[in-house]
Each structure stands twice: as structure tokens, then as C-alpha cells.
């Protein structure tokens, strides 16, 4: 058997990872300079203004995601907070969230006193399990946040049905899913509100930034007001009708986002091609298990290439050690999230707010985080075809070393 690189053998890949991230050029420079030269670097713009970048970004993003409204905000975390508050979620209300996600999904409600309630994920997709949502609903439940993890849409049909039946607000955390679709509908247009991130690791990058989408004009007005220190769209400058913050995006970020949007489709296509190849190459590896994709997912955004160690295989493998071995072969594989229902800071804050020790057991998420899940980042999926073979060869080499 071939000697593993971690034991002094030759790594499968010694060539550097070349994909430039972010990809940018003349257009980014041109649009940012337009902002500098205009002297309009931020602020509130007349509605329908085509001159300023923030309104342009909002209208183009709304179009891209088939939504009536989009609002630029400082980041994806605040986008969730704003969406929840716009829909009327208040301190003390419960918000159902999956435990397998970036911490912001849970901290965004918690930071204004709403209580995240963790509901377990599906074994096959690692997405919020709709069949477990209903039993977690209490009289205090006000909202469900569906997270399109890795860029794969959650089961929006079923979640929408459940939210409708119980009168709950359904929010899509689409921070990882720009461009993704469920049954032909763009994410962010299916639930009551959608939230996106323009943070630098995300598939649409403005350095920092976020977007809230909705088809509901009354939610849009609420969100707009929260973002604009309690003003109302048709009101006077010093007319403040509710408590709000200044959560506006700057013109500079909108300029970058607009330029990056022109590159999105080509980048998505490149990732899709590489993912198709990886799926084919990894499917036959003993010990590796690919996630299943619901046939109603009509487009995956491939923010992460997320997969698992098979359950029987992971019993004889330490996940961290497995990843270190693959890393030594020259592949930037990472561990990914820990299950948020076990996060001490979140659970302590929940206890402080509710006065009770809550235990949200999520055995599937806990086991998968602990011993099975791992991912490659979207930048890896922008590499050449040979890189996908390197990934498969390295995984094959390490997997075989255990057999
Ligand atoms: C990145 C991310 C966020 C937060 O976005 P920021 O712009 O970093 O605040 C929220 N939810 C998920 C699922 C994310 O991946």
C-alpha cells in the first residue's frame, strides 16, 4: 500500500491551489471609482433612483431572486435579525432553527432576546427535518428559519405547509445559497422573507454586506424602517415611526456587489461542472457517503461541497485524524460546524433569558458533526478538472489506508 503523506510518503498533490478569490477586474475598479467620483458614498436615495449603486443592487438582486423587494444591509447576521423583526418576532418569542448551520442563524434571534429552539436535521441532506419541526412548536413559537446549508435548498414545500398550518413566519437563511432554486423558485422568494450574505467567503462577495428579500410589501416597509432608523418610505426626514437602527449598506459595497453579480452565473456553472465530476468520482469510494439531493432542488448553489464518512466506516475512524491525513495529501478539506445545540455560549444565553436550562437534543446533528461531516469550500470548486481528480485520489488513498 502507498505510504500516506502524513507518514512521510509523497502527497497526492503538491501543486498549489490557484483559484483566485475573489475574482475581479476592470469592472470592480470602474464601479468603485464611479462612487468615489460621485461623492455619494452612502445615505438614503430617492426610490427608483438608477444613479446610486445601493438601489441598483437592490433592484437587480430582487430581479435575480424573483422577489418584489430587496434591501441592502450591513451583513448576513443582521439580515436575519432584521427579517425576524420586520415579521414581528419579539423578545421572548421562540424561533425554530437547525443546529447544523453557521452560528449567526441562532445568534441573530438571540441577540434581541428571541429564543432559538434547535430542531434536528435530516440524516441524508443535513437540512432542517420538517417532520421534527411540528413537535417543537409551542404557543411561543413565532418563526421557523430554514437554512439552505452548503447552497442546497431545504424542503420549502413541507416547511411552508407547516408554517402556514401553525401561523408561523418562515424565513430563509440563504447566506450560502445565492442563485439556488427549489422547484424552479429562487430561494429567498419562497418563504415570507429571505436573507443573504455578501461576506467575503460567500459566493457573492462585497467584502461585507447582506440583503433581505421579500414579496410581502408590508414586511418590506417594516424592514426598510428598521434599516433606516425608524423612518417610513413615504415620510419626512425627521419622522420616526418606530425604533430603528442605521443598518444601511454603503455605496462602495454595492458597487463591488454589482460587479461581482456579473460573474456569478459563470462561476456557478464552473462549480456545477466540478461538483458533477466530484460526485461521480467519490460515489464509488468505500467509506465516503455523498449527501442526497431532493429532486425538487432544481439548482444547488454549491457554496460548500459537503459530504460524510459512512456510518460503519466512521466507527473505526477519528474524523479529525482522517482530515489531517487528507490535508497532508495536499487537499484543503475542513471539519465544518459543531452542532449548535451543544454550543455553551448560546445555551447559557438562552438559560439567562428564559430562566430555565433547556436541552434541545439533536442526535443526528450531534453525531454527524462529531464523526462524519466535512467539506471543501466553494473556492476549491472553481479549480480545474485535474484538481477534482486530486481530491478523489487523495480521499481514495486515505480511505484505503483504513481498510
Ligand atoms: C455567513 C452566514 C451567515 C452570516 O452572514 P455574515 O454576513 O457573515 O454576517 C448567516 N447564516 C449562514 C448560514 C451563513 O453561512
Chunked mean pLDDT (size 10), the chain, 403 residues:
94 91 97 94 72 94 98 98 98 98 98 98 98 97 98 98 98 98 98 98 98 98 97 91 95 98 98 98 96 98 98 94 98 98 98 96 98 98 97 98 92
Q: Which residues contact 149 (CB under 8 A, 6 or more apart)?
A: 98, 100, 101, 126, 127, 176, 304, 306
Ramachandran angles phi, psi of 126, nearest 5°: 65, 20
Burial (Cβ within 10 Å: 0-12, 13-18, ≥19) of residue 156: buried
Query: Given the CA of residue 148, which atom of ligand 1 is nearest to it?
Result: 13
Query: Given the CA of residue 202, which atom of ligand 1 is nearest to it?
Result: 1
Catalytic residue of the set 202, 308, 319, 325:
202
Q: For residue 334, what is its C-alpha cell? A: 475542513
Q: How far apart are the first and last CA of the chain?
A: 11
CB 17 within 8 A of CB 382: no
* Domains of the chain from N-terminus onward: 26-260 (3.40.640.10), 264-402 (3.90.1150.10)
Nearest Cα to Cα of residue 121 among 101, 135, 107, 144: 101
CB 252 within 8 A of CB 57: no
CB 260 within 8 A of CB 206: yes
Residue 117: per-residue pLDDT: 98
Place of cell 457554496: 303
B/e letters for 22-39, b = 16+ CB within 10 Å, e = fewer, are beeeeebeebbeebeeee
**Ligand 1 mutation pick, 178, 197, 202, max ligand atoms within 8 A of CB:** 197
Query: Distance between CA 89 and CA 390 in Å, rounded?
Result: 48
In eight-state DSSP terms, residue 383 is S
Residue 48: per-residue pLDDT: 58
**Ligand 1 mutation pick, 80, 128, 175, 194, max ligand atoms within 8 A of CB:** 175
Instruction: Compute CA 120 distance to the chain's CA centroid, rounded to the nearest angstrom.
Output: 17
267 ligand 1 Cβ < 6 A: no
Query: Distance between CA 239 and CA 230 in Å, rounded?
Result: 8
Ramachandran angles phi, psi of 151, nearest 5°: 105, 5
* C-alpha angle 294-295-299 in degrees, rounded to nearest 5: 90
Query: Given the CA of residue 104, which atom of ligand 1 is nearest to it?
Result: 10
Helices 53-64, 251-282: crossing angle, 10 deg rounding: 30
Helix (H) or strand (E) holding 63: helix 53-64
B/e letters for 77-89, b = 16+ CB within 10 Å, e = fewer, are bbbbbbbbbbbeb
Determine whether 325 is an active site residue.
no
Question: What pTM, to 2 d.p., does this model score?
Answer: 0.97
Amino acid at each position: 500500500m502507498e505510504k500516506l503523506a502524513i507518514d512521510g510518503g509523497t502527497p497526492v498533490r503538491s501543486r498549489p491551489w490557484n483559484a483566485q478569490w475573489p475574482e475581479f477586474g476592470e469592472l470592480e475598479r470602474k464601479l468603485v471609482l464611479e462612487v468615489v467620483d460621485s461623492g455619494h458614498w452612502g445615505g438614503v436615495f430617492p426610490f427608483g433612483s438608477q444613479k446610486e449603486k445601493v438601489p441598483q443592487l437592490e433592484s437587480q438582486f430582487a430581479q435575480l431572486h424573483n422577489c418584489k423587494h430587496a434591501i441592502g444591509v450591513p451583513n448576513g447576521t443582521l439580515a436575519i435579525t432584521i427579517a425576524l423583526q420586520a415579521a414581528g418576532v419579539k423578545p421572548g418569542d421562540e424561533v425554530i432553527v437547525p443546529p447544523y448551520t453557521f452560528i449567526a442563524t441562532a445568534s441573530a434571534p438571540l441577540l434581541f432576546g428571541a429564543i432559538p429552539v434547535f430542531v434536528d436535521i435530516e440524516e441524508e441532506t443535513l437540512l432542517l427535518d420538517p417532520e421534527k419541526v411540528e413537535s417543537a412548536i409551542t404557543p411561543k413559537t413565532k418563526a421557523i428559519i430554514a437554512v439552505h446549508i452548503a447552497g442546497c435548498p431545504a424542503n420549502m414545500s413541507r416547511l411552508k405547509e407547516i408554517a402556514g398550518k401553525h401561523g408561523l413566519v418562515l424565513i430563509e437563511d440563504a447566506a450560502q445559497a445565492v442563485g439556488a432554486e427549489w422547484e424552479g423558485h429562487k430561494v429567498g422568494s419562497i418563504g415570507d422573507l429571505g436573507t443573504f450574505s455578501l461576506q467575503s467567503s460567500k459566493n457573492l462577495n462585497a467584502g461585507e454586506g447582506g440583503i433581505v428579500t421579500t414579496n410581502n410589501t408590508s414586511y418590506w416597509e417594516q424592514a426598510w424602517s428598521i434599516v433606516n432608523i425608524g423612518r417610513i418610505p413615504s415620510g419626512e426626514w425627521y419622522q420616526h415611526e418606530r425604533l430603528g437602527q442605521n443598518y444601511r449598506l454603503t455605496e462602495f459595497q454595492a458597487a463591488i456587489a454589482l460587479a461581482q453579480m456579473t460573474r456569478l452565473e459563470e462561476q456557478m456553472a464552473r462549480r456545477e461542472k466540478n461538483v458533477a465530476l466530484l460526485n461521480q468520482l467519490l460515489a464509488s469510494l468505500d467509506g465516503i457517503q455523498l449527501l442526497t439531493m431532493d429532486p425538487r432542488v432544481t439548482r444547488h448553489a454549491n457554496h460548500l461541497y459537503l459530504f460524510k464518512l459512512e456510518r460503519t466506516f466512521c466507527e473505526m475512524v477519528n474524523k479529525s485524524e482522517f482530515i489531517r491525513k487528507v490535508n497532508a495529501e495536499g487537499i484543503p478539506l475542513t471539519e465544518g460546524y459543531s452542532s449548535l445545540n451543544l454550543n455553551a455560549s448560546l445555551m447559557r444565553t438562552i438559560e439567562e433569558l428564559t430562566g430555565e436550562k433547556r436541552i434541545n437534543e439533536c442526535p443526528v446533528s450531534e453525531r454527524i458533526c462529531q464523526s462524519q461531516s466535512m467539506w471543501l469550500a466553494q473556492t476549491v470548486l472553481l479549480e480545474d478538472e485535474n484538481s477534482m481528480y486530486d481530491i478523489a485520489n487523495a480521499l481514495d488513498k486515505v480511505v484505503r489506508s483504513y481498510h
